Structure 1
């Protein structure tokens, strides 16, 4: 029986196409995985949503539940937001919760569970002044942001890196380290 639950939240970036393998890797590590997607990410993997729900054993969420509906997910022991796009990361840091995944991520900070994020942005967006401010806001709130030299992926030029270049293993290892700490 799985004793730990992780919320895996994904934005619409090419690494989202690897999400089934990431779920399987987390499950192999003893995690019960609840998968949340931005609306655009959900549309990108639309054909796989049913299979992903079967794989996780939970509904794949991309929208808030309606008032009065019970939450279909168990409580989380950790949260990983990866890939986190420029838009999602900035929205989260600014407290803009119009997207289900940014709302869940924002609330997780207050729940005092390990919260990690790994951005997936190109170099042009990473140079926007709000990006570094958002990373600092999230870090100051206790979020482990895997970004930059020695800490996570370094932004590439637009379209240079294929999805298989995204360092999922780094994120999964960081989750384990955060939970042990």
Structure 2
């Protein structure tokens, strides 16, 4: 069996604390996983970054490499950006690539890399008009967005249940997208 490479990206939202479990689930499904985090998510997981690198067999990245440095990851067959926060979704849709993971997913559109994202925002953020505009923009650009029925459903601020984040749906969507490519 040929190994497929999954770029698993995460923002600073509570489900990111389950990333080791998600990596193992993806590996059990035959993926070679490369983990990228927003700077805030990397800060949240700073004590576990070496263990996560050992688990994936690749360095965990949260910063752009310097010009001329070699790529340390294999090319992606698919990208899963979850959890994706309000800031990450809006930055991505607007093309504001100040963070490594947002830069990679923005460039991934032009490279034709099958990409799925699953937001993690509370209901207060979800009412902001820019969020709906950003979701619509990503959909128009060919991104699979798991939001609403069958994906992530916003909750009232402070009432989230990170353990209920639908990781299985996100991984299944990445598998399906890679199978079509």
Question: Is TM-score (shorter-chain normalized) higher than 0.5?
Answer: yes
Once superposed, which parts of structure 1, at least 4 consecutive aligned residues long, lie more than 3 Å away? Answer: none
Give matches, 1:123-142, under 5 Å: 123-142=123-142
Aligned to 1:87: 87
Aligned partners of 1:2 and 1:31 also within 8 Å: no
Residue ranges of structure 2 left out of the alignment (5+ in a row): none
Aligned partners of 1:11 and 1:40 also within 8 Å: yes
Aligned partners of 2:150 and 2:169 also within 8 Å: no
Alignment deviations for residues 42-82 of structure 1 (CA, whole Å, 9 cap, x no partner): 00000000000000000000000011111111100000000
Alignment deviations for residues 108-164 of structure 1 (CA, whole Å, 9 cap, x no partner): 11111210000000000000000000001000000000001x231111001212210
Aligned partners of 2:10 and 2:81 also within 8 Å: yes
Q: 1:168, 1:2 → 2: CA distance?
A: 23
Change (3 A) 1:106 1:158: same
Aligned to 1:175: 174
CA RMSD of aligned residues (A): 1.0
